[in-house]
Amino acid sequence: MALIVAPEPPLAPWLAALDEQIARSRQFFVDRPVVVNLAAVQDQVGAPLEFLEHLTTRGLNIIGVEGIDRAVLEGSRWAQAWVLGATSRDRLVLVPDDPPPADAPEPVPETEPPAQTHLIVERPVRSGQSIIFEAGDVTVLGSVASGAEIIAGGSIHIYGALRGRAVAGVQGNQAARIFCRRLFAELLAIDGLYRTAEHWGEGLHGRPAQAWLDGESVRLAALE
Amino acid sequence: MAKVLVVTSGKGGVGKTTTSAALGAALAQLGQNVVVVDFDVGLRNLDLIMGAERRVVYDLVNVVQGDAKLAQALIRDKRVESLSLLPASQTRDKDALTPEGVERVVGELREKFDWIVCDSPAGIERGATLAMRHADIAVVVTNPEVSSVRDSDRIIGLLDSKTARAEAGDKIEKHLLLTRYDAGRAARGEMLKVDDVLEILAIPLLGIIPDSEEVLRASNLGCPVTLHNPASAPARAYADAARRLMGETIEIVVPIERKGLMSRLFGRSVA
């Protein structure tokens, strides 16, 4: 089944929304044949071709272009992809999000090396340093200093003391958690929701702890 | 094989210049050929601490920019023959130092001396990064209080990423020197404990320098504390640190105040 992509002007916010969707549903878009319906943007000079370029750079596999005068595509590499009329559009597809990496690792094409879904940092993360890993979990064997930060698409595991910031689930992963052996953190965040140290008080100070998302709030508990 | 040692901290006022002078003098007293280099262009102090302020003609910037020869700028200490000073310029700023010029000067110093002690300016900008750039060994000077510890942590991160050794994939040797350690305040819990600092920074301890009037007195007289009063507690702590840099194993003692006797030391091993 081909996916019909129909942009709506203005293009910039539409493309931004598409980027977000692709980021959350990479698996869904891999090798998915795409038919582009340009009816909504056909009157804007240059817009149809520009838009097709945008889609190509995002790795979408365009097999057809519809809803537009054939002449517009003449001379471009899309001329062969022109489709007469519009394909039937009997139902909207709900694009599913990728399952969280812990449950099912992303299947990868056989020709490519497996994508790294876990980053292990074997030394202390010093003040002023940022470890940013959006593809999955981050494990730090040392401590994370005051003024340092770890940003992960998945969960964060710190086997030393956490004195800086830990930001987990940055790409909308609500199942992401933060674990540390000793909690002195300045800030914890999961999927955009954050808590600063003054929220959790002295009770957890210096103890092994975890943080997770419970609906719309970050919860913390000792790991003992 | 010459060794380039940078004395650095991130934070100002923790004792980098005092340490550069004291360690440099102590190494020279051990028979090593030592030069201490002031990288604090625009805010030079090392010449005062070394008592050479009236003998400065040319400086580091002149040599870096090729206006003077290295031999013209070096000032030989009058007390210890194997100790020299390469002063900074007071009238210029850090932008007067170029990476190529500093590399060339450090290369020339390596041929003449056993130890090149680079006194870094505070901060993490050009002056500090150029001072650490060619170091083989770093002495991270830290006071037992949180802001100094966090700044030191930042500097250790830079030592591990921005130095020539780090960029070549080599390790840079890092040592922690705790200065201004006040036994009385430590006993009252008003300062970070030695173990806390070591736990946060996770680098080996080179020594603990007790907070002492002796340091101030020596600075005001323009004499490294190790030369001014070798029997004083800070001088002995610096001398021990210098021996440890030379590879000797000497137990580190944490100064403890008891019954008002600051000078009483109790042996205790630290990490």
Domain finish residue from A35, A58, A92? A92
Chain B CB contacts of A147 under 8 Å are: 150, 153-154
| C-alpha distance from B202 to closest chain A C-alpha (Å) | 8
- pLDDT, position B247: 95
* H helix runs in chain A, sequence order: 11-24, 26-29, 47-57, 70-73, 197-200
More confident residue, B54 or A5: B54
Alpha carbon dihedral B4, B9, B10, B15, in 10-degree steps, equals: -120
Say what the ipTM of the complex is. Answer: 0.71
Q: Is residue A109 part of a domain?
A: no
CA A35/CA B243 separation, integer angstroms:
75
Residues A17 and A67 occupy one common structural domain: yes
pLDDT reported for residue B262: 45
Exposure on the CB side of residue A27, measured as CA atoms within 13 A? 13
CA–CA min distance B195, chain A (Å) = 14
The range of the structural domain enclosing residue A205 comes to 118-222
Q: Does A155 lie in the same domain as A211? A: yes
Predicted pLDDT of residue A77: 75
B238 touches B19 (CB < 8 A): yes
| Min distance A54 CA to chain B CA atoms (Å) | 37
Under DSSP, the state recorded for A95 is: P
Asked if A128 and B154 come within 8 Å (Cβ–Cβ), the reply is yes
Residue at A155 is within a domain: yes
Does A105 reside within a domain?
Answer: no
Judge whether residue B270 has pLDDT over 50.
no
Q: Chain B within 8 Å of A130 (Cβ-Cβ)?
A: no
Same domain, A69 and A149: no
In a domain, A104, yes or no: no
**Which among B153, B160, B202 has the least Cβ separation from residue A127?**
B153
Contacts of residues A167-172 at CB distance under 8 Å and 24 or more positions apart, as own/partner, are A167/A194, A168/A211, A169/A213, A170/A134, A171/A23, A171/A24, A171/A134, A172/A24, A172/A97
Residues in chain A within 8 Å Cβ distance of B158: 128
Q: Is A146 within 8 Å of B153 when comparing Cβ atoms?
A: yes
Task: Give the residue among B18, B86, B99 at the shortest CA–CA distance from B56.
Answer: B86
Look up the pTM and report it. 0.69
Residue A126 contacts B where some CB pair is shorter than 8 Å: yes
Quick check: is A99 in a domain?
A: no
In the block, residue with structure tokens 């029997």: B231
pLDDT at site A1: 58
Which chain B residues touch A129 with a CB distance below 8 Å? Answer: 157
The first and second tokens of residue A56, run together, are: 């190509």
Residues of chain B contacting A123 with CB distance shorter than 8 Å: 160
Percent of chain A at pLDDT exceeding 70 = 82
Q: Is there a domain that residue A106 lies in? A: no
Q: Is residue A182 part of a domain?
A: yes
**Among candidate residues A46, A75, A92, the one where a domain is terminated:** A92
- Rg (C-alpha) for chain B, rounded Å, is 18
Structure tokens, A20: 């977000």
Measured CB to CB, residues of chain B less than 8 Å from chain A are 124, 146, 150-151, 153-154, 156-158, 160, 199-200, 202
**DSSP assignment of chain B:** --EEEEEE-SSSSSSHHHHHHHHHHHHHHTT--EEEEE--TTS--HHHHTT-GGG--S-HHHHHTTSS-HHHH-EE-SS-TTEEEEPPPSSS-GGG--HHHHHHHHHHHHHH-SEEEEEPPSSSSHHHHHHHTT-SEEEEEE-SSHHHHHHHHHHHHHHTTTSHHHHTT---EEEEEEEEE-HHHHHTT-S--HHHHHHHH-S-EEEEEEP-HHHHHHHHTT--HHHH-TTSHHHHHHHHHHHHHTT------EE--BTTBTT-EE-----
pLDDT at residue A133 tops 70: yes
Count of domains observed in chain A: 2
Task: Let me know if residue A50 belongs to a domain.
Answer: yes
Q: Which residues of B are less than 8 Å from A163 in CB distance?
A: 200
| Mean pLDDT taken over chain A | 82
pLDDT over threshold 70, residue A84: no
Tell me the nearest-neighbour CA distance from A197 into chain B, angstroms.
Answer: 17
CA distance B235 to chain A (A): 31
Is the pLDDT at A114 greater than 90? The verdict is: no
CATH of the domain at A193: 2.160.20.70
Minimal C-alpha gap between A130 and chain B (Å): 11
Same domain assignment for residues A85 and A131? no
Asked whether residue A61 carries a pLDDT value surpassing 50, the answer given is yes
Mean pLDDT value of segment A64-84: 75
Query: Are residue A88 and residue A123 in the same domain, yes or no?
Result: no
CA–CA separation, A115 and A106 (whole Å): 8
Tally the C-alpha atoms within 13 A of residue B180's C-alpha that lie toward its C-beta. 16
Contact B202 A142 (CB under 8 A): yes
Same domain, A217 and A122: yes
Same structural domain for residues A138 and A193? yes
- Nearest by CB to residue A126, choosing from B146, B154, B199, is B154
Of B154, B199, B202, the CB nearest to A127: B154
pLDDT tens digit sequence for A7-52:
777 777 878 887 887 777 776 666 677 777 877 777 776 777 777 7
Question: pLDDT averaged over chain B?
Answer: 92
Closest CA to A189 of A138, A158, A151: A151
* CA B59 to each of CA B38, B95, B144, B232: distance values in angstroms, whole numbers, following the listed order: 9, 15, 34, 32
Instruction: Round to whole Å and give the CA distance between A63 and B209.
Output: 73
Query: CA-nearest residue of chain A to B196?
Result: A161
Quote the minimal CA–CA distance from B154 to chain A in Å.
Answer: 5
- pLDDT tens profile B224-265: 999 999 999 999 999 999 999 999 999 998 887 654 444 444
At B127, the pLDDT band (50, 70, 90 cuts) reads very high
**What pLDDT score does B240 carry?**
97
- Of A28 and B26, more confident: B26
Per DSSP, A199 falls in state: H
Across the interface, whether the CB atoms of A127 and B200 are under 8 A apart is answered: no
CA closest to A148 among chain B residues: B154
Q: Nearest by CB to A129, which of B146, B157, B199?
A: B157
Q: Same domain for A85 and A123?
A: no
Taking CA–CA distances from B156, the nearest residue in chain A reads A126
Whose tokens are 């009157």? That residue is A43
Same domain for A126 and A182?
yes
The predicted structure's pLDDT at residue B1: 85
Please indicate, yes or no, whether residues A39 and A82 belong to a single structural domain of this protein.
Answer: yes
Same domain, A145 and A80: no
Calculate how close chain B gets to A129, using CA atoms only, in Å.
7
> Do A214 and A148 belong to one domain?
yes
B158, pLDDT greater than 70: yes
Q: Residues A41, A43, A44, A50: is their CA dihedral positive or negative? A: positive
What would the pLDDT profile of B69-116 be if each residue is shown by its tens digit? 999 999 999 999 999 999 999 888 888 999 999 999 999 999 999 999
The per-residue pLDDT for range A157-216, each reduced to its tens digit, is 999 999 999 999 998 999 999 999 999 999 999 999 999 888 888 889 999 999 999 999
**Which residues of A, range 51-110, sit inside 8 Å of B by Cβ?**
none
- CATH assignment at residue A50: 3.30.70
Which range is least confidently modeled, A74-83, A180-189, B44-53?
A74-83
With beta carbons under 8 A apart, name residues in chain A contacting B156.
126
